[in-house]
Amino acid sequence: MLVRFWGTRGSIATPGQSTIRYGGNTSCVEVVTNAGQRFILDCGTGARPLGGWLLANAPKPIQATILLSHTHWDHIQGFPFFAPLFIPGNQITVCGPRGANTSLPDVLAGQMEFTYFPVELEQLGARIEYLDLNEGVHELNGVRVSAQFLNHPAIALGYRIEADGVSVLYLCDHEPYWESLWRTDVPPGKLDAILHDGDRRHAAFMENADVVIHDCQYTPEEYPAKKNWGHSTYSYVTQMAVAANVKNLFLTHHDPTHSDDFLDGIEAKSRAIAAALGSPIQIHCAREGYEESFITAPGPHLRVNTVAASDQETGSHLLVMVVDDDEDLRFLARKALTRAGHRVIEKESGQDALDALLGDGTDTRPDLILLDLFMPVIDGHQVLSRLRSHESTKNIPVIVLTAHGDEESARKSFEMGATDFLAKPFTPPQLDARIRSCVARAGHQGQPQ
């Protein structure tokens, strides 16, 4: 399986003397199976040179499957400049997560609206099909492609492509679910020592992969000022990949302020972390123009235990119950949720929530519950325990909210059946993305493949 990098920069294209070696184009990676099935991971500005290369070199008509991680600008801006789209006879399938309230073609058409671009989406000559993807396993042109939600302030999917006995993952854009990666009551380094369920699931998705291409925009020193922006540090990515027994790690989505020399430093530091952990993993900062063919390594090949895809919508309008004694938090949550198109029920105490959910003759069944942990009289854990022991409420996704974020609370919440654990303060798009991924995931739990 061939992997070729066309765009490795995050956020905005950054041409110039200081980015010549690693490249200035935004996210775009080409993956081609031995049978010639072509996948294009994201359509940042790197999609423009890729399109030109395909016109000159690929068999005609051109067939490709575009897998969009999400629709932030740096992942779609090359789409209108991807030349194969203009040529009749070419067949392009565009896959991606459904946007919050907008379909994939509507989002792509939006950036090609005449105010911004001279050619409209409908005028493109190629045959273009759109496919909304959800978390789970998909069969695309006979190739197994698994998708899993990432932690980003927009609904974003990571992809695992498996063909020719090789697995390649593309995980952009993604931020750690929790500040501390490891539990302190067990030795660090293994998947089950990861504190937050979200991070453990993310590491399990990469398990035993041949190639992982991962968002690595920041250094650990830069991260605190950029928290909740949806990106990872080399320290987090390296530790995760080592724990997951990944063979080759490519750090990408380089920050626009990071020069080639700076990225050399990130690569060296990342390798030093892996060496200190005694890992044989190969680590590179991804370079635009770099390509490598990966072949099956001898030995057993483990498939990740992922789930079948469901039709559960991530874009629908949800009914969310907010349980918090803090009026300001309820106000902020309501504002964020209604703006994202959801309906909100507010409860100011654990007892009020339980009365509404478990009381006689109640017909309140929210799609998801946002549950504050620290409340007087009946706290979030007590509410969660009651909900999980009741048939009618045991499967409702619950996001536990906390202002303190100590390890004990996080561990206990997951042990008691929390779907997710989120620290305050959060941003409105971050909250919306976490809610939608929890609800979508709840729709297909328990169907491992």
Q: Residue 159 contacts by C-beta under 8 Å, 6 or more apart in sequence?
A: 41, 67, 69, 145, 146, 147, 169, 170
Q: Does 255 bind Zn ion (CB under 5 A)?
A: no
DSSP state of 115: T
How many residues sit close enough to Zn ion to count as binding (CB under 5 A)?
4
Nearer residue to Zn ion within complex by CB, 135 or 173: 173
Distance CA 55, CA 83 (A): 8
What's the DSSP call for residue 233? B
User: Segment contacting Zn ion (CB under 5 A): 57-65, 172-180, 261-269, 325-333?
Assistant: 172-180
254 contacts Zn ion (rule: CB under 5 A): no
Interhelix angle 350-358/380-388, nearest 10 degrees: 10
By C-alpha distance, which of 164, 214, 124 is closest to 37? 164
CB of 8: closest distance to Zn ion in angstroms? 11
Q: Using CB under 5 A, which of 72, 138, 247, 434 touches Zn ion?
A: 72
**What is the side-by-side strand order in the sheet with 38-41?**
127-133, 91-97, 63-67, 38-41, 28-32, 2-7, 291-293
Q: Is residue 437 helix, strand or coil?
A: helix
Q: How far is the CB of 198 from Zn ion (least distance, A)?
A: 17
Binding flag, residue 214, Zn ion (CB under 5 A): no
Interface residue with Zn ion among 42, 74, 255, 432 (CB under 5 A) is 74
Distances from the Cα of 319 to the Cαs of 97, 251, 316, in angstroms?
21, 38, 10
- 175 is an interface residue for Zn ion by CB under 5 A: no
71 versus 248: smaller Cβ distance to Zn ion: 71
For position 30 contacting Zn ion by CB under 5 A, the verdict is no
**Residue sitting closest to Zn ion (CB):** 72
Would you count residue 324 as binding Zn ion (CB under 5 A)? no
Residue 315 or 350 having the CB closest to Zn ion: 315
> Which is nearer to Zn ion, 27 or 37 (by Cβ)?
27
CB of 229 to Zn ion, least distance (A): 9
10 Å Cβ neighbour count for 415? Answer: 9
User: Of the ranges 69-77, 84-92, 338-346, 386-394, which one interacts with Zn ion (CB under 5 A)?
Assistant: 69-77
| Chain residues in the site for Zn ion (CB under 5 A) | 10, 72, 74, 173
